[in-house]
Amino acid sequence: MVERTVLAGARVVLPTGVAEGGRVTIEGGRIAHDAPAEAPTLDLTGHTIVPGFVDTHVHGGGGASFSAGTAEEALTAIRTHRAHGTTTMIASTVTGDLDDLARQAAVLSELAEQGDLAGIHFEGPFISPHRCGAHQPGLLRDPDPADVRKLVDAARGTARMMTLAPELPGGLDSVRMLADHGVIAAVGHTDSTYEATLEAIDAGATVATHLFNAMPALQHRAPGPIAALLEDERVTVELINDGTHLHPSVLELAFARAGADRVAFITDAMGAAGMNDGMYFLGPMGVEVKDGVARIADGPTAGSIAGSTLTLDTAFKRAVTVDRLPLEDAVRALSTTPARLLGLSDRIGSLEPGKDADLVVLDDSYDLVGVMRKGEWLVGPEVR
């Protein structure tokens, strides 16, 4: 634990803007007001400091999966993403038998209770068979509120989000129940219409699960869920910025319509994140990773994109170098907005006094060289 130190000379991305030659003071695991002149100082001239990244949708990494149902695999995935700058994450499951999902939730809830995770995201099984993507079709079911409640209860207060298709029988009632229990209802893997999506938003849905992916395309006479989710100020839209899931012009469209305050970059990463090409699993589904792109290996959904191998440091670099987003907007999408979505903006998501000392140090090419979580260096930084 860093007791007191000053990170000086870097470009620091603050809520008020970018401070050239700025300073960040760390004391007792938190960001503090500026320290006395004699405090130990680390010269980070030529670097950029941003808040730790927050991932609201991640299934695994480092060869491990949150759906494996073991603390060992979950911790491997957590460590992998922390090394890439994700200092806060919620664990996403994938469609499975309800009893299996409940057992996974029991393991993951313990990790959430001890602070390794910020909660659990259930993606499936309450999704459309017409838009199931990498989810096993035979395990899908309608979102009966009693079944939805079973998973929420299994998480013992750590359920943060659930993705469902609101057009299915029981969908709207389940959205209302989730909202009443403080769980984010996310619209995704859906065949919903524009009108039905608006109904879901009015019922309490506040997130678009990986917008554009696993839902009807935007049509000029049938705008579908995409238009409804983009236009409503109550909705935060997830985007997978890996260059595979979205064309750059589509990402630009989402930012232009929703704005950085309503965009949350996610990884949707499966176990191959941080690993080489090869064969992996996403829940019960075999996945082949080739050239960094994960696809279902066989069965009725063979060839479907199966999550990603993305890490958020790569998403950040792409945002500012390829997509040409301003630094402030990239920070909002990777840190500030997802922190607020999870109700954690009083502790994380920006570099402000009193908040946890969660931060990422980038070099002049925006490659990650340092990660600090709660005042402890997990990676580097290598300062020359």
307 labelled binding-site residue: yes
295 labelled binding-site residue: no
C-alpha 314/C-alpha 232 separation (Å) is: 29
210 labelled binding-site residue: yes
Give me the torsion for CA of 312, 314, 320, 324, rounded to 10°: -110
C-alpha 371/C-alpha 52 separation (Å) is: 8
123 labelled binding-site residue: yes
306 labelled binding-site residue: yes
Give every CB contact of residue 5 below 8 A, 6+ residues apart in sequence: 25, 26, 35, 39, 40, 41, 42
Cβ atoms < 10 Å from Cβ of 382: 9
Q: Which helix (H) or strand (E) holds 58?
A: strand 53-58
Residue type present at position 4: R
Map residue 72 onto helix, strand or coil. helix
Give every CB contact of residue 56 below 8 A, 6+ residues apart in sequence: 89, 90, 121, 160, 161, 207, 238, 264, 266, 338, 341, 342
Residue 228 corresponds to which tokens in the numbers above? 């409804």
Question: Quick one: which of 364, 368, 342 has its CA closest to 158?
Answer: 342
C-alpha 102/C-alpha 73 separation (Å) is: 17
C-alpha 108/C-alpha 94 separation (Å) is: 13
221 labelled binding-site residue: yes
Give me the torsion for CA of 133, 135, 138, 144, rounded to 10°: -100
134 labelled binding-site residue: yes
What is the per-residue DSSP string for 252-306?
Answer: HHHHHHH-GGGEEEE--B-TTTTS-SEEEEETTEEEEEETTEEEE-SSTTTT-B-
Cβ atoms < 10 Å from Cβ of 384: 6
Question: Quick one: which of 239, 304, 315 has its CA closest to 273?
Answer: 315
b/e per residue 13-22 (b: at least 16 CB within 10 A): bbeeeeeeeb
Q: Could you list the active site residues? A: 268
Binding-site members for substrate are 134, 213-214, 221, 245, 305-307
For the annotated binding site for Zn(2+), the residues are 123, 189, 210
Residue ranges of the annotated binding site are 123, 134, 189, 210, 213-214, 221, 245, 305-307
